[in-house]
Copies of this chain bind each other. A is one copy, B any other.
């Protein structure tokens, strides 16, 4: 089951809250700037919260953008199988939830038969609005 928000620490709640309110991925220092009025003054406070939230699957890191996005899936403990759609024009990012895709990738084996416990996939293109 998903970890409940009540189990989160104060700083973790603050950071998650601001990320959830953002439609788009947020950068760590943008988060920091936004939570300074709430008492989080230094980078480690933000990064610690981010680390934990990523770990429990409440947020995901968009690696190619060094930014963090809230997980909108109901079962958002799935921190180990993520896929995103990124518009290279407007930088709009959406999480892709395709059970077909996730099944395909979770079962993927390489030539030596190695299986993986985790993956991250980022698709790039131009979204409809930008076309």
Chain A interface residues (CB < 8 Å from chain B) = 63-64, 80, 85, 88, 94, 96, 98, 101, 104-105, 108, 110-112, 114-128
Contact = CB atoms under 8 A, between A and B. Distances in A.
Contacts of A127: 114
A64 to B, nearest CB: 5
Given A63-B63, A63-B64, A85-B116, A110 B124 contact: no
Contacts of A110: 85, 94, 96, 98, 123
Contact of A119 (B114, B116, B122, B128): B122
A69 to B, nearest CB: 15
Most interface-central of A85, A94, A123 (chain B CB within 10 A) = A123
A28 to B, nearest CB: 14
Contact of A104 (B104, B120, B126): B104
B63 A85 contact: no
